[in-house]
């Protein structure tokens, strides 16, 4: 093996024979770091050595079977993964510092129905892991703790222990002797992830990796890290709030249209099987500027509270601020109200908040946002038995949304007598049993008259 010196971008992994101030691939500045890498010598005629056991076969002869799933011990995680953890798979869990990644991974390690789990901690001592396990109040007999950051030693211990699940906290702390660079560099992250992937595929042991994120909110390290793993999970939420959201960004064995919600408590993360009741638990029906939206995140319908505050601009430039909602979409909805409905909001401050600290990207809450803004602007409380589920177009039309039946049924289950939705709903979108709870609306002008006419 020959040693060569290259410059690698610590953001995207691009290489260059010389130092560059700006990366031509990702456009970031001052991210190139000099690293020494091993350059393999070429074999005969520069050919790559391949396995002699690999034989092409028709796709029709390949046996397809449903993989046996491993119970993670957490019902919400099993549903998010599509039924459980697939043997031999590699999962990547990313999130901000202090969000609860180590707590969630340790809960899985202690709750999974497995004979033996190996928890490799490169950031905390065994005593710190034990303190967290005692706080979780779970059985620790089947969980083994290893404080190690050298990849070769970890794989050696895995051969001796033969675990049913391997948890690594975190991938950025590991390093391999085959690469001459510091832990956390692009080369080390790529080499260690590839080594753990080979172990997972050859042994059939699932591997759960914890990954740091950078200031942009993406998982730190080379992008190839997300490509080689089978599942990428994003743990989101504000550290000042108690609620956490686990999203599936990539899943080779299931759908990515799912999410799981947790509540951070003193004894760990508690699963939230019914987020609608929790997010609406502190709602005050007599206040203006509050509307309930029947949103869908993935395949799960849930009711969220949309809070708006409209006031006269105290400074020269009106403020537009949102929490849990896209501020650009709020500006678009305010422009629609001014252009199509004639409301002058250009000189007023508008603040919008999705209660509970959750972030909603579903366009089906547009109608609830407009209703909350109008309610706050005219200081008129909305009826407490009405929810909203529709998208608002640029011409002021109210458009239909997906999974309307589930949205109306969720509102009915929680006591909402009516769900205001698009008048031109698709045929069959509303079954006969839910017709009485469906209130049609065609344009935002009708919503304004309905709010003011009460």
Chain centroid to CA 245: how far?
7
- Please determine, for residue 308, whether its predicted confidence score (pLDDT) is greater than 70: yes
- Please determine, for residue 51, whether its predicted confidence score (pLDDT) is greater than 50: no
Please list, in sequence order, all residues whose beta carbon lies within 8 angstroms of the beta carbon of residue 190, skipping any fewer than 6 positions away.
13, 221, 222, 224, 225
* Residues 124, 192 share a domain: yes
Last residue of a domain, one of 273, 301, 325: 273
* Residues 371, 260 share a domain: no
Chain centroid to CA 130: how far?
28
Residue 117 lies in a domain: yes
CA distance 236 to 247: 8
* Residues 215, 103 share a domain: yes
- Please determine, for residue 351, whether its predicted confidence score (pLDDT) is greater than 60: yes
pLDDT in tens, 87-110: 999 999 998 888 899 999 999 999
- Cis, peptide link before residue 453, omega less than 30° from 0: no
Q: Is 211 marked as a binding-site residue?
A: no
User: Residue 225's pLDDT is what?
Assistant: 86
- Please determine, for residue 61, whether its predicted confidence score (pLDDT) is greater than 60: yes
Residue 64 lies in a domain: no
Last residue of a domain, one of 211, 239, 273: 273
Extended strands (E) in 10-53: 15-16, 32-39
User: Residue 272's pLDDT is what?
Assistant: 87
User: Residue 37's pLDDT is what?
Assistant: 63
Q: Is 108 marked as a binding-site residue?
A: no
| Structural domain harbouring 37 | 2-41
> How many domains would you assign to the chain?
3
Across residues 430-436, what is the average pLDDT?
A: 83
What is the spatial order of strands in the sheet that 117-121 belongs to?
Answer: 143-146, 117-121, 165-169, 207-211, 90-95, 231-236, 243-251, 259-265, 268-272
Residue 378 lies in a domain: yes
User: Residue 49's pLDDT is what?
Assistant: 42
312 confidence band (pLDDT: 50, 70, 90): confident
User: Residue 216's pLDDT is what?
Assistant: 66
Q: Is 73 marked as a binding-site residue?
A: no
Radius of gyration of the chain (CA): 26
Query: Which 3 state secondary structure label does DSSP give 307?
Result: strand
* Residues 225, 100 share a domain: yes
* Residues 368, 239 share a domain: no
Which range in 251-255, 274-278, 419-423 is most confidently predicted, on average pLDDT? 419-423
Q: Looking at residue 129, which CATH number applies to its domain?
A: 3.40.50.300
pLDDT in tens, 244-266: 889 888 999 888 877 888 988 88
CA distance 202 to 394: 54
Q: Range with the lowest mean pLDDT among 164-168, 245-249, 416-420, 423-427?
A: 423-427
Across residues 70-85, what is the average pLDDT?
A: 91
CB 374 within 8 A of CB 240: no
Q: Range with the lowest mean pLDDT among 13-17, 216-220, 307-311?
A: 216-220
* Residues 324, 257 share a domain: no
User: Residue 129's pLDDT is what?
Assistant: 92
Q: Is 101 marked as a binding-site residue?
A: yes
User: Residue 47's pLDDT is what?
Assistant: 38
Residue 51 lies in a domain: no
pLDDT in tens, 110-156: 998 888 999 999 989 999 999 999 998 887 888 999 999 999 999 99
Cross-strand pairs, 119? 145, 167
13 vs 421 pLDDT, higher one: 421
* Average pLDDT in the chain: 86
Across residues 29-43, what is the average pLDDT?
A: 68
64 confidence band (pLDDT: 50, 70, 90): low
* Residues 447, 319 share a domain: yes
Residue 87 lies in a domain: yes
Across residues 409-421, what is the average pLDDT?
A: 90
Q: Is 18 marked as a binding-site residue?
A: no
Q: Is 100 marked as a binding-site residue?
A: yes
Please list, in sequence order, all residues whose beta carbon lies within 8 angstroms of the beta carbon of residue 356, skipping any fewer than 6 positions away.
241, 243, 278, 279, 304, 305
pLDDT in tens, 357-395: 788 889 999 999 999 999 999 999 999 999 999 999 999
Across residues 287-301, what is the average pLDDT?
A: 88
Q: Give the total residue count for the chain.
A: 454
User: Residue 316's pLDDT is what?
Assistant: 75
Q: Is 102 marked as a binding-site residue?
A: yes
- Please determine, for residue 339, whether its predicted confidence score (pLDDT) is greater than 70: yes
Across residues 13-40, what is the average pLDDT?
A: 80
* Residues 89, 27 share a domain: no
* Residues 201, 109 share a domain: yes
* Residues 79, 11 share a domain: no
Provide the percentage of residues in the chain whose pLDDT is more than 70: 90
41 confidence band (pLDDT: 50, 70, 90): very low
Query: Which 3 state secondary structure label does DSSP give 445?
Result: helix
* Residues 124, 263 share a domain: yes
Please list, in sequence order, all residues whose beta carbon lies within 8 angstroms of the beta carbon of residue 387, skipping any fewer than 6 positions away.
292, 293, 294, 303, 368, 407, 411, 416, 418, 419, 420
409 vs 216 pLDDT, higher one: 409
- Please determine, for residue 289, whether its predicted confidence score (pLDDT) is greater than 90: yes
CB 305 within 8 A of CB 354: yes
Q: Which helix (H) or strand (E) segment is 421 a member of?
A: strand 418-422
201 confidence band (pLDDT: 50, 70, 90): very high
Q: Range with the lowest mean pLDDT among 79-93, 206-220, 251-265?
A: 206-220
Residue 265 lies in a domain: yes
Q: Is 400 marked as a binding-site residue?
A: no
User: Residue 419's pLDDT is what?
Assistant: 93
Provide the percentage of residues in the chain whose pLDDT is more than 90: 46
User: Residue 29's pLDDT is what?
Assistant: 87
């Amino acid at each position: 093996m020959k040693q060569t010196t290259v410059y690698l971008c610590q953001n995207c992994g691009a290489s260059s024979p010389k130092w560059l101030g700006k990366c031509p691939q990702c456009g970031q500045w001052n991210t190139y770091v000099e690293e020494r890498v091993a350059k393999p010598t070429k074999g005969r005629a520069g050919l790559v050595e391949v396995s002699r056991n690999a034989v092409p076969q028709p796709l029709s002869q390949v046996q397809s079977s449903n993989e046996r799933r491993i119970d993670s011990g957490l019902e919400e995680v099993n549903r998010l993964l599509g039924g459980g953890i697939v043997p031999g798979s590699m999962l990547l869990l990313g999130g901000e510092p202090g969000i609860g990644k180590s707590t969630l991974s340790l809960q899985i390690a202690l709750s999974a129905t497995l004979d033996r789990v190996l928890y490799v901690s490169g950031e905390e001592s065994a005593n710190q892991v034990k303190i967290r396990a005692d706080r979780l109040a779970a059985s620790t007999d089947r969980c083994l703790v290893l404080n190690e950051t050298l990849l070769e030693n970890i794989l050696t211990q895995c051969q001796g222990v033969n675990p049913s699940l391997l948890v690594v906290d975190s991938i950025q702390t590991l390093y391999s002797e085959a690469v001459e660079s510091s832990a956390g560099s692009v080369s080390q992250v790529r080499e260690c992830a590839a080594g753990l992937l080979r172990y997972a595929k050859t042994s059939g042991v699932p591997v759960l990796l914890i990954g740091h994120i950078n200031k942009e909110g993406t998982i730190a390290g080379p992008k190839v890290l997300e490509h080689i793993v089978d599942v990428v999970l994003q743990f989101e939420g504000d550290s000042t709030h108690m609620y956490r959201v686990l999203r599936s960004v990539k899943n080779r064995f299931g759908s990515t249209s799912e999410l799981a919600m947790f509540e951070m408590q003193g004894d760990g993360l508690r699963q939230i099987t019914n987020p609608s009741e929790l997010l609406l638990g502190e709602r005050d029906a007599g206040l203006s500027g509050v509307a309930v939206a029947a949103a869908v995140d993935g395949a799960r319908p849930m009711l969220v509270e949309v809070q708006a505050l409209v006031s006269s601009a105290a400074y020269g430039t009106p403020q537009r601020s949102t929490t849990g909602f896209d501020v650009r979409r709020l500006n678009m909805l305010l422009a629609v109200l001014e252009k199509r409905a004639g409301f002058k909001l250009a000189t007023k401050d508008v603040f919008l908040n999705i209660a509970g600290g959750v972030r909603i990207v579903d366009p089906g809450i547009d109608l609830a946002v407009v209703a909350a803004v109008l309610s706050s602007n005219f200081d008129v409380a909305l009826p407490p038995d009405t929810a909203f589920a529709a998208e608002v177009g640029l011409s002021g039309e109210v458009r239909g949304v997906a999974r309307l039946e589930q949205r109306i049924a969720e509102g009915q289950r929680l006591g909402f007598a009516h769900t205001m939705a698009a008048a031109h709903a698709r045929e069959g979108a509303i079954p006969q049993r839910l017709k009485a709870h469906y209130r049609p609306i065609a344009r935002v002008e009708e919503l304004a008259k309905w709010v003011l006419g009460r």
